[in-house]
Amino acid sequence: MKTEKTAAKVFFNSKRRYIRLVVYAVFLIALGIVMAINKRPEAMAELALTVGVIVFEIFHVRKSQKEFLSYTEQLEFCLNENARGSLLNYPAPLVITDMNGGINWYNDWFKMAVGQDELFGKNVQELVPGLDIVKFVETEEQTNVKLTIGENHYDVWGNVSRNPKIGRAASLIVIYFIDKTTEVKTAQLREDERVIESIVIIDNYDEVLKETPDTNQGALLGDIESKVNEWAALGNGIIKKYERDKFIVLFNNKEFAKIMENKFAVLDGVRSINRENKIPATLSIGIGKSGLDVAENDKYARLAIDMALGRGGDQVVIRDSANFTFFGAKTREVEKRTKVKARVVAHALRELIDHSSKVLIMGHSRSDMDCIGAAVGLFKAVTSRGKDAFIVVDRELSNAKQMIADFVANPQYEDSFISGEQSLNIFDRETLVIVVDVHRPVMVECPELLQHAKNIVLIDHHRRSEDFIENAVLTYHEPYASSTCEMITEILQYIQDNDHLTKQEAEALYAGIFMDTKGFTFKAGVRTFEAASYLRRMGVDTVNVRRLFKTNIDSYIAKAEIIRTAEVFKGNIALSYLYEECSELSVVVAQAADELLNISGIDASFVLAKSGNRVLISGRSLESVNVQVILEKLGGGGHITIAGAQLENTEIDEADRLLREAIEEVMAQ
C-alpha cells in the first residue's frame, strides 16, 4: 500500500543517514589517528571537521525522525477520523496532500488517471490541470469542482483534515475524484442530437416576381430553392417546402455548428441571383434552438421569423431560451405596393374607436415631428367618429415644441395635449390606447398606461426590437414604410367618410414624412410620394412646413461645431461629440449627423451629446453601414439608415468607447 511505502521511504532515509554517519566517523577518526602518529599538523583540523560532520548528520537524522513522526500522526489522524479505513480501498482516484498541494499519499486509481509513477512529493496541481487547492483550504466544508483529465471528466471533491495536536500547517487535504465521463458523454450526445428548427421565407415574393420577366420567373424560383437546399445540405438538414414561399428546415445541434461557421452565406447567395429581376430576391430565416423539446423550438422559430420580418427581412434571427441573435440585414426594406393591409387595419381601427369610451394617443418619449404628426392624424380620425381624443406628450421634453404650440393655439386642440399623469386620471376600462412611432414598452411616453389598458393599438415603422408591445389587440407594424405619418395618411383615406384634414393637420403629417425621409431622400418609395401627394391636395404649404424645422442661432452654432470637430473612424465613419448642452439638443444632434453624410468618403455618421446624466447618440448612414444593428448593441434601435440610442449614467468618453467596440464588432461579421 502507498501508506506503507511512504512511511518506509521516510524511515529508510533516516536509517541510511545513520549508516552514513558511522562510516564518515570511522573513516575520519582513522585518518586523524594516522596523521597524529605521523605528527601531521593537519590532524587537529581533521578532527574538528569530523566533529562538525557528526553534528550535522545528527541534526538531519533528528529532523527526519520528526518528519516521520509528524507524517504518521497526520496520516493516522486522517484515516481514523475521516476516511475510517475506507480510503485505502476507495475504488476511484484519491490523493492526500499537504496544505500546499504536495502529495503524501495516493492510490493506484489516481496513478492511472494522471498516467505517471512515483508521485510522492510532487504537487497535485501540476498533475491535474485546473485544480486549485486554495478552494479546498478556504472552506471548512467539502468543496466540489469539475475537471477534465485527458478524456475523462470528474467531479473533484476536497476536504481539509485538521489535526489539533499538530496545528493547521500540518493538516492534510483529502481529494477524491468521482468519474462522470459516462454521464457527460451521454448528456453531450443528447445535446448533439437535439432538433433545431428553421423557418425560411422568401421576402416580398409577389413584388419580386412582378419585377421579373415572365420567362425568367421559373428560373428565379429554381435558383432560390437551389440555394436554400444547398444551405440545408451544409448541415445535413431535412427540408420541406410547405407554401410557395416558405420552407421548414430541421438540423441537429451538432451539425448546426457548421451552419454557424458558414455565417449564413445563403443570404448573400440568394441576393446575388440575377434573372433580370429588378428587385433583389432576399430571405428571412427564423431559427429556434435550446428549447426543452421540439414544440418549444417550434415556438422559438416562429418568434424568430416574426422578428426577422419585423426588422425588414434579408436576415437571420436565432431565438434560444435566453434571447435573440441577429445576422445579416445588409439591405433596406423593399416597399410593398399593395395597400390591402392599410385598408384592413383602417376598418379594424374604426371598429375599436366606435366601441371605446375615449381614445388616448401616445408616442415615444422626447417626441419628434413624425410622432406628433401621426398623433394629430389619428386625433382627426377619432374625433370624426364622434369620440373624445387626447394626445399624451411631455411638452417640455418634446422635440416638436413649435408644432405642438401651433396646435395648442388652435381652439379645437387647446385642451387635447395632456401629460402622462393627466392621462391616468381620465383613463377607464373602455379607453382605447393607440401607440404610434414606437413599439418598445420602455420608450413610450407613459408606460403605466400600457399596464392598465386592455385595448391597445400599435402603429409603427421602426425595425422590430427584442422588447415589443405584445398585448396589442391590433398591430400595424411595417418597417418598409418611410414614417409613421405615411402609414397614418394611408389609414385616414379609408377610415374617414367626408371629414377631410385641415391644412394644419395635413402639414403636420407632411412634416413627419419630410423629417424621417430627410426631405424625401431616404426610404422614399412610391407610396411615400402618394401619401405626400394626398396631403398636398389637402392644402399643404411646403414653405410653412419648412418653418417648423428652423432652429435658433445657438443651436445652429452648436451644429456647426459638431461638424467642425468630426473625426474619421475606420476610413468611412464620421464621429463627433457635443460636450455642452444646448436648446433643441436632440434636433441639433440629428441634423449634425445628417450633415456629416455630405462629406466625401463618409458612409455613416454618429454624433454623441451629453444631456443631463445621459448620452444621446444619433446615427445616420447611406445604407452600406447598418446603424440600427450597431446602436442596438447599445440598447437603441431604428432603421438601417437612421437610428438612435440613449445611455443612462454614462459619460461621453465611455459611450464613445462602447460605440467604437460595437462598430468594430458589426463590421467584423
Q: Does domain 2-178 have CATH number 3.20.130.10?
A: no
Helix (H) or strand (E) holding 20: helix 2-37
Reported confidence tier of residue 14, pLDDT bands at 50, 70, 90 = very low
| Per-residue pLDDT reduced to its tens digit, 598-617 | 999 999 999 999 988 889 99
Q: What is the pLDDT of residue 84?
A: 46
Reported confidence tier of residue 622, pLDDT bands at 50, 70, 90 = confident
Q: What is the pLDDT of residue 18?
A: 55
Q: Is 39 exposed, middle or buried (CB count within 10 Å of its CB: 0-12, 13-18, 19+)? A: exposed
Give mean pLDDT, residues 628-633. 90
Grid cell at residue 531: 401619401
Q: What is the pLDDT of residue 176?
A: 84
Q: State the chain's mean pLDDT as an integer.
A: 85
Alpha-carbon distance of 372 to 48, in angstroms, equals 106
Q: Tell me the whole-structure pTM to 2 decimals.
A: 0.67
| Per-residue pLDDT reduced to its tens digit, 203-220 | 989 889 988 999 999 999
CA angle 67, 72, 73 (to 5 degrees): 100
CATH architecture classification, 193-328: 2-Layer Sandwich (3.30)
Alpha-carbon distance of 374 to 363, in angstroms, equals 9
Q: Is 116 exposed, middle or buried (CB count within 10 Å of its CB: 0-12, 13-18, 19+)? A: exposed
Strands (E), 333-445: 359-362, 389-392, 417-418, 432-436
Per-residue pLDDT at 1 exceeds 70: no
SS3 assignment, position 386 = coil
Cα-based torsion angle of the residue sequence 566, 569, 574, 578 in order, rounded to the nearest 10 degrees: -50
Phi (first) and psi of residue 606, to 5 degrees: -135, 130
Alpha-carbon distance of 221 to 301, in angstroms, equals 24
Distance of CA 273 to the CA centre of its chain: 32
Instruction: Report the DSSP pairing between strands 455-460 and 474-477.
Output: parallel
In angstroms, the Cα distances linking 169 to 75, 162, 219, 321, 402 are 14, 9, 81, 48, 78
| 627 contacts 621 by C-beta, under 8 angstroms | yes
Per-residue pLDDT at 64 exceeds 90: no
| Per-residue pLDDT reduced to its tens digit, 399-433 | 899 999 999 999 999 999 999 999 999 999 999 99
What helix, strand, coil percent values describe the chain, rounded to 5? 45, 20, 35
Share of residues in the chain with pLDDT > 70 (%): 83
Per-residue pLDDT at 241 exceeds 50: yes
Reported confidence tier of residue 270, pLDDT bands at 50, 70, 90 = very high
Per-residue pLDDT at 507 exceeds 60: yes
Reported confidence tier of residue 334, pLDDT bands at 50, 70, 90 = low
Per-residue pLDDT at 288 exceeds 50: yes
In angstroms, the Cα distances linking 595 to 504, 548, 582, 607, 634 are 28, 18, 18, 11, 23
Listed by start position, the domains of the chain span 2-178, 193-328, 340-547, 553-668
| 339 contacts 296 by C-beta, under 8 angstroms | no
Tell the CATH topology of 340-547: inorganic pyrophosphatase (n-terminal core) (3.90.1640)
Minimum mean pLDDT range among 61-70, 202-211, 559-568: 61-70
Phi (first) and psi of residue 248, to 5 degrees: -125, 135
Reported confidence tier of residue 332, pLDDT bands at 50, 70, 90 = low
The residue that leads in pLDDT, 565 or 77, is: 565
| 371 contacts 437 by C-beta, under 8 angstroms | yes
Distance of CA 83 to the CA centre of its chain: 48
Strands (E), 265-376: 283-288, 315-319, 324-328, 359-362
CATH architecture classification, 553-668: Roll (3.10)
